[in-house]
Amino acid sequence: MKIAHGLPENFNPESYDALVVGAGYAGAVCARRLAEACNFRIAIVERRDHIAGNAYDYEDEAGILVHKYGPHIYHTYNDRVHSFLSRFTEWTDYQHKVLANIHGTLMPVPFNHQSLKLAFGEEKGEHLYRKLVATFGQDKKVPILELREKNDPELAEVADYVYENVFLHYTMKQWGKTPDQIDPAVMGRVPVFVGDDDRYFPQAPHQGMPKDGYTKLFEKMLDHDLIDVFLDVDVRDLMELTETSVKVCGKPYGGEVIYTGALDELFGFDRGALPYRTVDMVFETLPEDQFQPVGTVNYTVSENFTRITEFKNMTGQVVPGKTTIMREYSRTYLPGVGETPYYVINEPENIALYRSYVERVSKLVNFHPVGRLAEYRYYDMDGVTASALELSDEIIAHH
């Protein structure tokens, strides 16, 4: 692998079999697979000054490994994804735990047996728990919206409590909308858990953190003789799409183009901008060993930030006398001014707009949109990796 900042003056796209736009999961996974399986020479262009996309981590001034674009916790049910990524890292046995700060009491989220007892008192909490077990079964995940539909006054009481104290205010802060106004799948990510497991991802067979961090994982994934990475390069300065071809540096390009940026940007938002939520991440280093008991505390009824992450609690890094925390403030994303589009807003009119952009590239047989931005989807890291593995399977089969 060669990493350069900017493109060399004599950059010749024709000397590469594929151009990959973006050095996050989607781009890096495709680059590695096409280099290995097809012996393709790959040029990756990335407009940031680093690899790893939104999973990028680095040591801050206090020497603490932090995640620049929000806390990233790896978990997957997908064995193929796990064995592919495990080629480039070992994993710690970190199991993510989240507590909700509800009027000063810290309760496990997903809401579970312990949370019920904290919320309703020992006796009533136990009674309600038994009823949940009798209704849904032990160790079952129940989406809050499903719980609300049950026609039982006691279960309705649980549903109302969880809705009001866990979901309503947090969701208003995160999305600017009530839980009923957003895609049910979003809150379905955090179901009530009828059991004692207090992990955020109960039952995910593979979870942990990359032993040396995400950026190191990417360095290994991109470490291949046929892969060149060019940082600080915005592809819009060299690529142009026409109805029938992809032009790179002014000439039709015959290689494969893997595009992991946003599609509306590529067309100058000419049919309108795809809506997103962005997040202001505010970091602070404190002169203490530990600030909070777990990796993430969600502020579900108070404050105007959504959550506080303490990185040492996730990475297991030992740095005595100091710790770095980060607060997240979610807000509307403003297109075209350099903000980071973090969360897609899955609503029918946005999907229709997205499809109208996809239609314009669908005839370009060598242009492949993939990833959280290019597919306009709320993917976790494993979902993006799976999508990139599938796309590379198709390209490999074709060559």
SS3 of the chain: helix, strand, coil, percent, to 5: 35, 25, 40
Ranges of beta strands (E only) in 36-194 are 42-45, 57-59, 65-67, 74-76, 98-102, 105-109, 140-142, 192-194
To the nearest whole angstrom, how small is the minimum distance from the Cβ of residue 257 to ligand UDP? 29
Partner that binds at residue 261, options ligand UDP, ligand FAD, none, CB closer than 5 to 8 Å by kind: ligand FAD
Closer to ligand FAD by CB, 70 or 143: give it.
70
To the nearest whole angstrom, how small is the minimum distance from the Cβ of residue 342 to ligand UDP? 8
Among 1, 235, 263, 344, binds ligand FAD (CB under 6 A): 235
Residues 339-358 that bind ligand UDP (CB under 6 A): none
Residues 31-50 that bind ligand FAD (CB under 6 A): 45-48
Q: How many CA atoms lie within 13 A of 301 on its CB side?
A: 15
To the nearest whole angstrom, how small is the minimum distance from the Cβ of residue 373 to ligand FAD? 6
To the nearest whole angstrom, how small is the minimum distance from the Cβ of residue 69 to ligand FAD? 6
Q: What are phi and psi of 264, to 5 degrees?
A: -65, -35
**Sign, Cα dihedral of 178, 183, 189, 193:** positive
Residues 6+ apart with CB under 8 A from 196: 112, 113, 114
Closer to ligand FAD by CB, 111 or 342: give it.
342
Residues paired with residue 73 on neighbouring β-strands, in sequence order: none
To the nearest whole angstrom, how small is the minimum distance from the Cβ of residue 77 to ligand FAD? 12
Among 76, 165, 174, 324, binds ligand UDP (CB under 6 A): 174
Q: Is 238 helix (H, G, I), strand (E, B) or coil?
A: coil
Q: What are phi and psi of 144, to 5 degrees?
A: -55, -35
Residues 6+ apart with CB under 8 A from 259: 21, 22, 235, 266, 367, 368, 369, 370, 374
Partner that binds at residue 260, options ligand UDP, ligand FAD, none, CB closer than 5 to 8 Å by kind: ligand FAD
Going residue by residue from 288 to 327, which x/- string records binding to ligand UDP, judged by CB under 6 A?
----------x-x---------------------------
218 contacts 54 by C-beta, under 8 angstroms: no
Partner that binds at residue 166, options ligand UDP, ligand FAD, none, CB closer than 5 to 8 Å by kind: ligand UDP
Partner that binds at residue 42, options ligand FAD, ligand UDP, none, CB closer than 5 to 8 Å by kind: none
Burial of 183 (0-12, 13-18, 19+ CB in 10 A): middle
User: What angle is formed at CA 373 by the lines to CA 257 and CA 385, rounded to 5 degrees?
Assistant: 75
- Residue 112 binds ligand UDP, judged by CB under 6 A: no
To the nearest whole angstrom, how small is the minimum distance from the Cβ of residue 205 to ligand UDP? 18
- Residue 109 binds ligand UDP, judged by CB under 6 A: yes
Query: Which tokens in the block code for residue 75?
Result: 């978990």
- Residue 72 binds ligand FAD, judged by CB under 6 A: yes
Among 18, 20, 26, 116, binds ligand FAD (CB under 6 A): 26
Residues paired with residue 193 on neighbouring β-strands, in sequence order: 141
Q: Rounded to an integer, what distance in angstroms lies between the CA atom of residue 227 and that of residue 2?
A: 7
To the nearest whole angstrom, how small is the minimum distance from the Cβ of residue 138 to ligand FAD? 27
Q: What are phi and psi of 47, to 5 degrees?
A: -80, -20
- Residue 381 binds ligand FAD, judged by CB under 6 A: yes
Residues 6+ apart with CB under 8 A from 193: 110, 111, 112, 139, 140, 141, 142, 202
To the nearest whole angstrom, how small is the minimum distance from the Cβ of residue 332 to ligand UDP? 15
- Residue 202 binds ligand FAD, judged by CB under 6 A: no
Going residue by residue from 114 to 143, which x/- string records binding to ligand FAD, judged by CB under 6 A?
------------------------------
Stretch near ligand UDP under the rule CB under 6 A, chosen from 122-130, 165-173, 223-231, 257-265: 165-173
322 contacts 287 by C-beta, under 8 angstroms: yes
Point out which residues bind ligand UDP (CB under 6 A): 100, 109, 166-167, 170-171, 174-175, 186-187, 189-190, 298, 300
Contacting residues toward ligand FAD, per CB under 6 A: 21-27, 45-48, 53-55, 70-74, 234-236, 260-261, 279, 342, 371-373, 379-382, 384
